[in-house]
Structure 1
Amino acid sequence: MFHRIGHFVVKRAWWVIIGWLVAAVAIIATAPALTAQTDESAFLPEHYESIQASKVQERAFPANFTPAAMVLFERTDGGKLDAGDQAAMDKVVKGLTDQHVKLVETILPVSDQSTSKDGRYALSMVGMEKNSAHKPEAADSAKELRDEAKKLAEGSNLKVQLGGQAAQNLDQKDSSELANMLIGVGTIVIILLTLGVIFRSPIIALLPVLSIFVFSMVANGLIADASKAFGLKADSSVSAILIIVLFGVGTDYFLFLMFRYRERLRAGDDRKTAVVNAVGRVGEAIASAAGAVIVAFSVLLLSSLGMFQALGPSLAIAVLVTALASVTLVPAILSLIPEKVLFWPSKAWQKDPANARFAALGRTVERRPLLVTLVSGALLVALSFAAFGYKGTFDLASGSMPKTKESMVVQDTLMTAFSAGAADPSHVYVESKNGAKLDPAALNGYVGELGKVPGVAQVVPQPHLNTDGTVADITVMLKDAPATNQAIDTIDGLRKVAHGSAPQGSEAKVGGITSVYKDINTAMARDYSLVFPVAALLIMLILALLLRSVVAPWYLMGAVGLGFGATVGATSLVFQKMQGEAGLMFMLPMFIYLFVVAIGTDYNILMIARLREEAAEGHSPRKAAGLAMRHGGPTVAAAGSILALTFATMLLAGNSLFSQIGFSVAFGIAVSAFVMAMFFTPALTALLGRAAWWPGHGSLPGHPEAAPAVTDTREPAGRH
């Protein structure tokens, strides 16, 4: 099949290239803009209690004031606020009100209730149109508020800062744009430098970057179309991850093809025949690798969380487009460029090198497969034990931008100057089941019970009733900051008491951002128990079809599982033990699954496919493993290095979320390439011998059921 694709592409190379260019322009011109979702609650389905509580709030208290932003005042000298400062604060509030900033409905004046106990800080709450705080336009409103507030405070003793959700959206947007730029530039520089060193050719270094630029437009346009058509909710990290996936995976597949193309040229093929044979030989590995990744990403549609439901299909589309381009667009370009031009100024492509390093490693695997299996496996197992120390954290705002951003400074100040839980209190909504009015006396006793829950700092004594008295809103302030694990644990006890002690004839729902985090935690646990096993089974099916074996997929997926555990363990050690962070971002294991399990499988597939190819040519299992290392090792090493380094560029973003993703995925890819694919998998396969290919081992030479060997005219003998 892939030989036929190769022949078609080579014969109609110009038409293939023009087709891709036309598709890129047409799709990007008609695609809608891809917008990010920042409201965590929007990622949860409606059957979770936090979402049900928000529905009660919207229905019973439509006019409730929920601040979308907060203006924080303090003196420039750090002293207590005085009467003159109060006049200056009133001037700022009035000036902002008179400005009529878009979306802003209310700006409350500073009062004694909004001043810290030590008198050094004061707050003015800003209310925006209902459900607008998470919209992209709210960031523009926050920028205007921030700039205007600072202007109005000029000449006074006040320092003015803007925090709250709208301000966080603004700072996240700025941080994401900077991160995307740094990641994009860093990724391209790494690809250019690495390919330049490997092939010593500027054209080869530029070729994947230029071709990826073309098909990335196709991928981004299709992702935007799919997001609009199916209402997928993407979070702010999607665009940065897409950059890395497109360039990282695209370069991987380019290397798979390029190394085999160069090998065919050295074997004596002319340029066009070499392209056809390269596509024919490595196309199945690219398709299988892409299929495994697409399946792993697509299974995220089973997730409870909207962020992963959007991310999975988006990345699946990106990988599908990348794979299609890798067996059509890239070969078409290669077939048009003369070899001497393509590889200029290097002449090393003309002769088959000894590959001394990889040949030596191959001989080690060939001679001592048991030792190699035990050493590489022990390393993976040892790191996997550290994964038991993993702890999740839910502070998405501070995790997705530097601590120095203004909204983060305001958030930290609120937690020290005011109550830690006061920054975003929880709410218990009590609703009458039969439409009768709630009993005030029963509510007073109920408030007392809620106040006894461990972890609760204060319950506002007077519940807020709706107009007909059938629903009560009870504000509960927790002792700990809303996004901490301690606060999330408190929600368990609060819900138990809220449900069990609700006044007769009523039912209670616990809402607020901490309740949302609690439900996200529950949803993640459910997703891990469903998404991981389904993805593993589907990837194993793809491996079984590629390798014609029901044995190899089991130990290949076992190796991938060890790689996952080792990556989580190493990341926990670095960030929790060495850097002293409270925990890792709660979605990190899912990102590790996405890239280490899914993309890391590519290298296993490439190596094991090459190993089977060598076995099919009549080599013994150990010899086949050694030859697979010699010929496939350079490809895996180069591809793994580039992909690991591209993910490592996320460390440049300067925030905790991207740093954790960048380190963990870079480490996981390195483990997948340099431990699993190059040592553990070939050595274990050599130990198992022909049993690894059961029941397809009947097609291998030397087996009693094997058909007589037929010389493949496309692969001249003696190439080893």
Structure 2
Amino acid sequence: MFAGIGRSSVRHPWLTILGWLVAAVALTVFAPQFKSSADQADFLPGHYESLQVADLQERSFPQQERPAATAVFRREDGGVLTAGDKADVVRVTDGLDRAGVELVESVKTGPQAVSPNGKIALASIVSTVDDHQDPELLDAVKELRERVGPLVAGTDLHVGLTGAAASALDTRESSGDTDAMITMATLTLIVILLLVIFRSPLIALLPVLIISVVYVVASGLIATAAELVGLTADSSVSSILIVVLFGVGTDYILFLVFRWREQLRAGQEPKAAMEEAVARVGETVASAAGAVIVAFLALLLSSLGMLRAMGPALAISVAVTLVAALTLVPAVFSLLGTRAFWPSKAWRTAPRNELADRTGAVIARRPGTVAAASGAVLAALALGVLSFNPVFDSGSSLPDDLESVRASKEMQRGFAAGQTDPVWVLVEEEDGGTLSTGALTAYAEELRGVEGVGQVAPAVTNASGDVAQIAVVLAHPPTSERAIELVGGQLRDTAHEAAPEGTRALVGGPTGVLADIQAAVNRDYSLVFPAAGLAIMVILGLLLRSAVAPWFLMLAVALGFGATLGSTVWLFQDLKGESGLLFTLPVIVYLFVVAIGTDYNILMVARLREETRSGVDPREAVYRAVARSAPTIGAAAIILAGTFGVLLLAESTMLQQMGFAVAFGILLTAFVMALLLVPAVTSLLGDRVWWPGERRRRAAATVPPPAPDEQSAVGASTDR
């Protein structure tokens, strides 16, 4: 099959390239815009309690105004607001209210909006739309920020806008800058590394151009698929998509170009060499991509919409990259021929690689020592997992210098920790009657007795009298771990148990959403991880025709996962002093490190099988496989880790954590697992690794070891 694909692309290069360009243009013109959201509630299924609260609240209290944003006033010197300051607050608020900003229904304040300590005053910004992520509403908040400056000029006041819409605006603008920065850093890194490896400007630039076309096609397909099934992705998916496409795409191009260069060195003509390269490396690359795709698709089992949307999006991107690697890349390079390597002539002769030779020799001589040492390193790093503390508020990853973040912190200087986002407790009469005022008062007292609850407002009943809502202010910040545990545990338990007879009680609000997300993530850990691991094992078994190899490979990858997450915990929690890591990080690390990192294991084991089939004994096969694979695996891993590593340049803590974890995990997978642990264990197991598939054919005579300069450029192809 792969021979036919390579032959078709090489013999009809212009038609292949034209097809890709037409697809890119058509998707750019006709594909819908990809929708994203930063609101955690958008990603929960409707059966979670916090969403039931929101639905009941909307039906029972439609007249209740929920501010889209809040203006936070304070004195420049941080002191108590004077009578003149309060008058200025009213004047500025009236000025914003009369400004006629589109989608802004009202901007209002009052004496009750001044904090108990007198240092902070608030003004509520109410919009005419319920969706606080609406792009036009975000533009309205941006206009309000521009208008408020002249209004406070000449006063002693400082004003900042925060709240849902203001945070969404800051996220959108920060993400736009981050995407541009990540794109430029990724492209620069890839070009420099390829230039160092091949010493050819054409080969350094061509992958970037090819993957840019792939990016356009993949983005259009993802947006179209999302529109058809109604998926909304997290606002960070665009940054992840960039590094996945350019990182994985560059890897697959490297695998193919290295094999093409090897065939050229063997004396084949460029077109014939490319056909042979696709035929030989196609199965391995397709298997590696398949492992990544099924791991991403396992996210469809998640109960979080953000992960369900991310999974198919990334799976589509990898699938498009695979097709491009097997069609577009051969077409482009077959047209260029050996001119692609200009001005370097190094492609004509195989270089010496003493480090790879020595590594292979050490593993072949002392596989037990190497396996124990590499396994011990991974196990030691994995100990950091014991300190892992998940953080469930994605807004906490926003840079501290954003206006919404600063204003939110300033607001907490004057109001109780949970004042800004109270927990809502709703009580609904189940038999169609009306609620008793006395019962509601007694119920509120029960809630007030829960440890960690600061204030409980009197119950407010709807027009029909069958639903009441109670605002509960916590003593802890709404997004803190203690608040989430309280709402998801004791507060909900008390609210349910103490509900008046004949009623049902529901607990929601922003903290309730986070508590439900925590429950959803714990459920996903126990489902997505095993499903992804099982799918990857099936692919490994089919590729290697073995029932043994997939088991020890997945055990090795699991150890690598623990080492990756543990190292990230030590860096960000212990060294940088952050409160915790983003709650989705274990899922992201598992899928990226297990799936993408498994590429290198597949390449190594496929080369081990190839050498074993040649008739040499297992240790000789290990020596040859490591010596010939190390250059390619090392180069590919450095490029892929580098593309994820550029996420460390982002201002978002979430992206920084993700960038380090995936980049470091890939390096561990390549240099510790694929090049040390896997071949060492394979040597120890011997022929048993390939059971019940084809066992090695013993050679009648000893096969001499490869010459030092006999390096294979692709490392892990599977000869037919």
TM-score range, shorter chain: over 0.9
Corresponding residue for residue 358 of structure 1: 356
Q: How big is the shift at 1:338?
A: 2.6
Cα distance in 1 between the residues matched to 2:655 and 2:194: 25
Corresponding residue for residue 707 of structure 1: none
Question: Which one of 687, 690, 693 corresponds to residue 693 of structure 1?
Answer: 690
1:237-276 to structure 2, matched below 5 A, reads 237-276=236-275
| Structure 1 contact 381–562 (Cα < 8 Å) conserved | yes
Corresponding residue for residue 316 of structure 1: 315
Q: How big is the shift at 1:282?
A: 1.0
| Structure 1 contact 6–280 (Cα < 8 Å) conserved | yes
Single out whichever of 81-90 and 671-680 deviates more from structure 2. 81-90
Cα distance in 1 between the residues matched to 2:128 and 2:158: 27
SS of equivalent to 2:38: coil
Alignment deviations for residues 194-221 of structure 1 (CA, whole Å, 9 cap, x no partner): 0110111111100100000111111000
Q: How big is the shift at 1:63?
A: 1.4
Corresponding residue for residue 712 of structure 1: none
Q: How big is the shift at 1:572?
A: 0.6
Q: How big is the shift at 1:311?
A: 0.2
Question: Which one of 367, 370, 377 corresponds to residue 368 of structure 2?
Answer: 370
Corresponding residue for residue 165 of structure 1: 164
Cα distance in 2 between the residues matched to 1:497 and 1:20: 60
Cα distance in 1 between the residues matched to 2:525 and 2:545: 29
Corresponding residue for residue 60 of structure 2: 60
Q: Which AA in structure 1 matches 2:647? A: M
| Structure 2 contact 233–306 (Cα < 8 Å) conserved | yes
Question: Which one of 639, 643, 653 corresponds to residue 656 of structure 1?
Answer: 653
Cα distance in 2 between the residues matched to 1:423 and 1:678: 53
Cα distance in 1 between the residues matched to 2:370 and 2:516: 44
SS of equivalent to 1:423: coil
TM-score between both structures, scaled by the size of structure 1: 0.96
| Structure 2 contact 108–125 (Cα < 8 Å) conserved | yes
SS of equivalent to 1:382: helix
Corresponding residue for residue 641 of structure 2: 644
Cα distance in 1 between the residues matched to 2:101 and 2:625: 65
* Aligned length, in residue pairs: 702
**CA-based RMSD:** 1.4
Does 2:582 correspond to 1:585?
A: yes
| Structure 1 contact 267–719 (Cα < 8 Å) conserved | no
Q: How big is the shift at 1:702?
A: 2.5
Alignment deviations for residues 311-342 of structure 1 (CA, whole Å, 9 cap, x no partner): 00000000000000001100111111131x21
Question: Which one of 621, 626, 631 corresponds to residue 624 of structure 1?
Answer: 621
1:202-241 to structure 2, matched below 5 A, reads 202-241=201-240
Corresponding residue for residue 402 of structure 1: 399
Q: How big is the shift at 1:690?
A: 1.1
Question: Which one of 494, 500, 524 corresponds to residue 521 of structure 2?
Answer: 524
Cα distance in 1 between the residues matched to 2:436 and 2:116: 34
| Structure 1 contact 697–703 (Cα < 8 Å) conserved | no
SS of equivalent to 1:600: helix
Single out whichever of 348-357 and 78-87 deviates more from structure 2. 78-87
SS of equivalent to 2:121: strand
Q: How big is the shift at 1:87?
A: 2.2
Does 2:497 correspond to 1:500?
A: yes
| Structure 1 contact 690–697 (Cα < 8 Å) conserved | no
Single out whichever of 250-259 and 350-359 deviates more from structure 2. 350-359
Does 2:78 correspond to 1:83?
A: no
1:4-403 to structure 2, matched below 5 A, reads 4-111=4-111, 113-339=112-338, 341-399=339-397, 401-403=398-400
Q: How big is the shift at 1:130?
A: 4.4
Q: Which AA in structure 2 matches 1:51? A: L
Cα distance in 1 between the residues matched to 2:194 and 2:551: 34
Cα distance in 1 between the residues matched to 2:333 and 2:428: 69
Q: How big is the shift at 1:643?
A: 1.0
Q: Which AA in structure 2 matches 1:697? A: E
Single out whichever of 43-52 and 410-419 deviates more from structure 2. 410-419
Cα distance in 2 between the residues matched to 1:669 and 1:138: 41
Cα distance in 2 between the residues matched to 1:665 and 1:101: 44
| Structure 1 contact 600–672 (Cα < 8 Å) conserved | yes
Question: Which one of 455, 470, 476 corresponds to residue 474 of structure 1?
Answer: 470
SS of equivalent to 2:80: coil
Cα distance in 2 between the residues matched to 1:364 and 1:3: 36
Q: Alignment identity in percent?
A: 50
Q: How big is the shift at 1:719?
A: 8.2
Corresponding residue for residue 453 of structure 2: 456
Question: Which one of 592, 597, 604 corresponds to residue 600 of structure 1?
Answer: 597
Alignment deviations for residues 556-587 of structure 1 (CA, whole Å, 9 cap, x no partner): 11111111111110111111111111111111
Question: Which one of 532, 549, 571 corresponds to residue 574 of structure 1?
Answer: 571
Q: How big is the shift at 1:138?
A: 2.2
Q: How big is the shift at 1:108?
A: 1.8
Cα distance in 1 between the residues matched to 2:28 and 2:607: 38
Q: Which AA in structure 1 matches 2:249? A: G
Uncovered stretches (5+) of structure 2, i.e. residues with no partner: 701-709, 713-720
Single out whichever of 463-472 and 342-351 deviates more from structure 2. 342-351
Cα distance in 1 between the residues matched to 2:616 and 2:110: 82
Cα distance in 1 between the residues matched to 2:558 and 2:55: 40
Q: Which AA in structure 1 matches 2:54? A: S
Single out whichever of 285-294 and 609-618 deviates more from structure 2. 609-618
TM-score between both structures, scaled by the size of structure 2: 0.96
Q: Which AA in structure 1 matches 2:341? A: F
Q: Which AA in structure 2 matches 1:468? A: S
| Structure 1 contact 691–697 (Cα < 8 Å) conserved | no
Cα distance in 2 between the residues matched to 1:597 and 1:100: 53
Q: Which AA in structure 2 matches 1:191? A: I
SS of equivalent to 1:429: strand
Q: How big is the shift at 1:30?
A: 0.8
Cα distance in 2 between the residues matched to 1:136 and 1:372: 56
Cα distance in 2 between the residues matched to 1:509 and 1:621: 63
Q: Which AA in structure 2 matches 1:421? A: G
SS of equivalent to 2:689: helix
Cα distance in 2 between the residues matched to 1:573 and 1:505: 51
Q: How big is the shift at 1:703?
A: 9.4
Cα distance in 1 between the residues matched to 2:261 and 2:73: 66
| Structure 1 contact 180–239 (Cα < 8 Å) conserved | yes
Uncovered stretches (5+) of structure 1, i.e. residues with no partner: 705-717
Q: How big is the shift at 1:654?
A: 1.5
Cα distance in 2 between the residues matched to 1:357 and 1:274: 28
| Structure 2 contact 85–157 (Cα < 8 Å) conserved | yes
Q: Which AA in structure 2 matches 1:217? A: V
SS of equivalent to 1:696: coil
Question: Which one of 484, 489, 493 corresponds to residue 488 of structure 1?
Answer: 484
Q: Which AA in structure 2 matches 1:187? A: T
